[in-house]
Structure 1
Amino acid sequence: MSTTIMTGAKAPEKPYGMRKNGMQWAPAKKAFRPTGGLTAYDQRAKLRVAQTAMKAKEKEMKEEKEGERQRRITAIKASKAAKEEKERFEKLAEKMHKKRVERLKRKEKRNKMTNS
């Protein structure tokens, strides 16, 4: 008998051959080890810190995006309101004299200033 000393090298995995159930296409399953995926407390703590930082950055980005969206919405509403007001004064100008319409504009502007 010959004695050989194993140095830390792994023996090559032997091929299993064809499966009896015909599922050669599926990957071979490994043994279920419920404690195999557990990590040390330090690793979990680092991961938790990284996740909180990432969530804070995501929240900041979402708030920035929402702020930009709100700015666009207010700009659209303001332009729409200005357009409607312009159309309203044009309709009044058809019926009334030009100077009277201008006086009404100034009066409404003063009322808006005091109400706001």
Structure 2
Amino acid sequence: MNMSETQVNITAAPAPATTKKNLGMRKNGQVWLPAKKAFRPTKGLTSWELRVKKRQEQAAMKAKEREMKEEKEAERQKRIQAIKERRKKKEEKERYEQLAAKMHKKRLERLKRKEKRNKLLNS
């Protein structure tokens, strides 16, 4: 009696659900390509709320990017302005040095002429 019960249980066991369905040979013979799925045009559609939420997230991200770009550009302009100011100061300094050298030269020439006059008067 024990044997017949176990035989019934074994034969009544369902087949495993993990077996793949064999589709057979493909018509075009390209077995190396993945099988195509059915075309479902409405599968990728999302609800209005999801689309609005996604748009808001993208707008926030773009605003953050714009802010970062503006900060970077401001920093760049600041560096450029500092360089321009440095060059301007350097040019002004060189100009003053040239003026001082000129003035000094002229003063020397004046003194030389004065000394010559004095020598002529004293001799």
Could you tell me the TM-score, scaled by structure 1's length?
A: 0.60
Structure-to-structure mapping, 1:5-16, within 5 angstroms: 12-14=19-21
Q: Which has the larger radius of gyration?
A: 2
Structure-to-structure mapping, 1:1-40, within 5 angstroms: 12-14=19-21, 20-21=29-30, 24=32, 27-40=34-47
Q: Unaligned 5+ residue runs, structure 2?
A: 1-13, 106-123
Name whichever structure is richer in helix by fraction: 2
- Report what 1:70 is aligned to: 77
Q: Matched residues in 2 for 1:16 and 1:82: separation? A: 83
CA deviations 1:91-112 (Å, max 9, x no partner) are 22221139xxxxxxxxxxxxxx
Q: Matched residues in 2 for 1:83 and 1:27: separation? A: 71
- Report what 1:92 is aligned to: 99
Label 1:44 to 1:94 Cα distance change in 2 as closer, same or farther (>3 A). Answer: same
Q: Matched residues in 2 for 1:34 and 1:45: separation? A: 21
Percent of matched pairs sharing the same residue: 61
Question: What do you get for the CA RMSD once the two structures are aligned?
Answer: 3.1
Q: Aligned residues, how many?
A: 89
Displacement over 2 Å in runs of 4+: 10-22, 26-34
Could you tell me the TM-score, scaled by structure 2's length?
A: 0.57
Q: Matched residues in 2 for 1:42 and 1:68: separation? A: 39
Q: Which has the higher contact order (CA 8 A, sep 6+)?
A: 1
Q: Unaligned 5+ residue runs, structure 1?
A: 99-116
Label 1:28 to 1:64 Cα distance change in 2 as closer, same or farther (>3 A). Answer: farther
Structure-to-structure mapping, 1:37-116, within 5 angstroms: 37-97=44-104
Query: Amino acid of the residue matched to residue 80 of structure 1?
Result: R
